């Protein structure tokens, strides 16, 4: 991973920790198109933008009480 990626993008495990959910939930949200990721060119790991995760977490908080974003 280059320096740029290490500061602006994280792997799925870190993304799950940031969002307070399981790795499987992050994968499912990605499959449903709720969270976007890209693949690391060398190891094919999913990479999530920290800014996208922050926006997603904020939207998730705003939507609590009106509808749920949990993975079913």
Residue 21, domain member (yes or no): yes
Number of structural domains the chain divides into: 1
| pLDDT tens readout for residues 25-58 | 999 999 999 999 999 999 999 999 999 999 998 8
Residue 17, domain member (yes or no): yes
- pLDDT attached to residue 62: 64
Residue 69, domain member (yes or no): no
Residue 70, domain member (yes or no): no
DSSP 8-state secondary structure symbol assigned to residue 72: -
Domain residues for 11?
3-63
Residue 56, domain member (yes or no): yes
Residue 9, domain member (yes or no): yes
Residue 58, domain member (yes or no): yes
Query: What is the Cα Rg of the chain in Å?
Result: 12
Which CATH number goes with the domain that contains 47?
A: 1.10.1660.10
The residue that leads in pLDDT, 5 or 37, is 37
- pLDDT attached to residue 58: 85
């Amino acid at each position: 991973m280059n320096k740029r990626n290490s500061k602006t993008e994280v792997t799925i495990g870190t993304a799950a920790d940031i969002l307070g959910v399981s790795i499987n939930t992050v994968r499912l949200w990605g499959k449903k198109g709720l969270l976007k990721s890209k693949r690391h060119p060398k190891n094919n790991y999913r990479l999530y933008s920290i800014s996208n995760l922050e926006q997603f977490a904020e939207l998730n908080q705003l939507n609590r009480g009106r509808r749920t974003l949990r993975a079913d």
